[in-house]
Amino acid sequence: MAKFKRVLIKLSGEALAGLKGEGFDFSTAVKVSKQIKKLIEQGIEVSIVIGGGNFWRGRNSESMDRTKADQIGMLATVMNSLYMAEICRLQGLKSIVQTPFQIGTITEQFNKDKALSHMKNNTVVFFAGGTGHPFFSTDTSAVLRGCEIEADILLFAKNIDGVYDSDPKVNNEAKKFTKLSFKDILDKQLKVIDGTAASLCMEQNIPILIFKLDTEDGIIKAAYGENIGTLITN
Ligand code: UDP
């Protein structure tokens, strides 16, 4: 089976919350960390971006100033990464959290060379804090970091097993796509990743696999090139 050499995994905050829908779900986090351990043991370089939707989404913050609301969201992503990095450590893995802004001694500041050197040294690198700027999402920061570290593929683990032509929760006739192009995502305005992220992927020609986090060995299968969801390419 083909395997990728360097992957970036994007976990949505909601997926990390498991069935609870908010906060952390320990058993989900442990399942994820066990899979990451297997990838590292197989010599795959692993980096991770985690969303913050299990705590806070800036765009849902009603009357609050959007910049401030987004800053809270970015800090939520830092909490998620610190949590997951510790769960990885419990599995005996080395992990580090990098952020685009300084948080004293808690994280390391994002640096491509350092990130690559950590990954080559079998350390899982978490890119937390999004892009460091409001009005962006962690989908976009995942694509941005993926481009910067020259990941072979972006593995987006979500609460849904791929991209559908309509909402499968509402329409039981909804059809799942196994393959799509970034142009399809943009033209059809499919909501699965945001437009900024899709445009950057298209421009940089970096594939994304969208799959369900709660799939037996889903992360491992995805890193070995199995299309277990929807593969989006140019
Ligand atoms: N965010 C931001 N800039 C970024 C990335 C994230 O301002 O570059 C903020 C934004 O408020 C967002 C929140 O962080 O709503 C959490 O990220 P996201 O909604 O992407 O999380 P997910 O839906 O993947 O859990």
Q: Residue 46: pLDDT above 60?
A: yes
Q: Band of the pLDDT at 2, cuts 50, 70, 90?
A: low
Q: Is residue 55 part of a domain?
A: yes
Residue with the nearest Cα to atom 22 of ligand 1?
Answer: 51
Dist. CA 134–CA 80, nearest whole Å: 18
Total domains in the chain come to: 1
Domain span holding position 120? 6-233
Would you state the pLDDT for residue 60? 85
Residue 178 Cα to ligand 1 midpoint, Å, equals 26
Q: Is residue 213 part of a domain?
A: yes
Dist. CA 163–CA 53, nearest whole Å: 19
Instruction: Work out whether the CA dihedral 212, 214, 220, 221 comes out positive or negative.
Output: negative
Please choose, from the candidates 205, 189, 198, 38, the residue with its C-alpha nearest in 3D space to the C-alpha of residue 124: 38
Query: Residue 199 belongs to a domain with what CATH number?
Result: 3.40.1160.10
Q: Is residue 99 part of a domain?
A: yes
Q: Which atom of ligand 1 is nearest to the CA of 71?
A: 7
At residue 31, what is the residue type? K
Please choose, from the candidates 144, 141, 116, 150, the residue with its C-alpha nearest in 3D space to the C-alpha of residue 50: 141
Q: Is residue 135 part of a domain?
A: yes
Dist. CA 121–CA 185, nearest whole Å: 36
Q: Is residue 1 part of a domain?
A: no
Would you state the pLDDT for residue 82? 98
Tokens encoding 120: 């080559």
The chain-wide mean pLDDT, for the chain, equals: 95
User: 113-147 pLDDT, tens per residue?
Assistant: 999 999 999 999 999 999 999 999 999 999 999 99
